[in-house]
Amino acid sequence: MLSLYEAGYLRTHGESILDEAIAFTKPHLAAAAGAEDLKLADSTLADRIAHALKWPHRKGMKRVEHHFFISIYEQTQGHDEALLKLAKLSFNVVQHLYQKELKVLTKWWIELDLPKRTSYARDKLVEVYLFCFTRVTTVGSVYDDTYDAYGTIEELEKFTAAIHRWDTSMQGIEPKMKIIFEAITDSYDIIHEMAKEEFGRSYCWDYGKPAECCKIIPGRSAMAGQKLCADLRGIQACFFAEHSLPMGSVCGILRDGRIGSQGSLRLAIHRT
């Protein structure tokens, strides 16, 4: 029954049979999870049921799920000690890597101090860390806040024009938007240097400039449904626009640093 319940979350829209499977199994599993006889007979099964009801396996994060299932496997009779040790070691190594990366990113974010300097930006570093290209995505979230909730139409038009020109002089831009613009260019330079250090060359980064990035926010008061296009040299992503490029696609290709020509870059982008 637990397997049927978990399989139900593989459903797609319109698969009523799997919807019915979840509706049928969920109350029965909830009753079984609290039954004392099941806990006495198989405590690990009771724990697995309780966990599945709260976090179905298909909706969970694999690395987070590993911690739970390692503990379940450890309680299972006849488990392989070598395999258990390897699983724990793998989990701890990856956990240490995440902590190390978050330490570096937290230091960078504190030094950048965008939430205090702008007064409206949300502090989403750890949340955004779950995505790729954390520096870019974190600054991108502040960029989104600027368009969604802060700037007026006139201010945003000037801001967008400055980004199109990649104008580091930032003339005519509202002071807090200058802070965001500097953060964008600094993030670009950081990844630029990382690519140069790792691959020994970085000329292909200039090919990111023609990658036009569009931002469409229909129905938002700050934008009044307008479409503003901003050329961020491959840093700021398009969002739900036709023929748009996701942030990860452009940054991933440019971060790789091994695209040999503008034509090959375009070909790689169109294949993403």
Residue pair 22/5 in contact (Cβ under 8 Å)? The answer is yes
- Which of 22, 37, 60 is the last residue before a domain boundary? 60
Quick one: 45 and 162 in the same domain?
no
Q: Is residue 144 part of a domain?
A: yes
Q: Indicate whether 257 pLDDT > 70.
A: no
Domain count, the chain: 2
Quick one: 46 and 140 in the same domain?
no
Quick one: 266 and 172 in the same domain?
yes
Q: What is the pLDDT of residues 178-229, one digit of tens each?
A: 888 888 778 777 777 777 777 776 555 555 443 333 333 333 333 333 333 3
Quick one: 174 and 56 in the same domain?
no
Q: What is the pLDDT of residues 9-20, one digit of tens each?
A: 998 888 899 999
Given this model, what pLDDT does residue 88 score? 95
Q: Is residue 151 part of a domain?
A: yes
9 lies in which domain range?
Answer: 2-60
Which of the two residues, 161 and 41, has the higher pLDDT score?
Answer: 161
- Which of 60, 75, 94 is the last residue before a domain boundary? 60
Q: Is residue 93 part of a domain?
A: no
Residue 96 binned pLDDT confidence (cut-offs 50, 70, 90): very high
Of the ranges 45-59, 64-78, 153-167, 256-270, which one carries the lowest mean pLDDT score?
A: 256-270
Q: Indicate whether 130 pLDDT > 80.
A: no
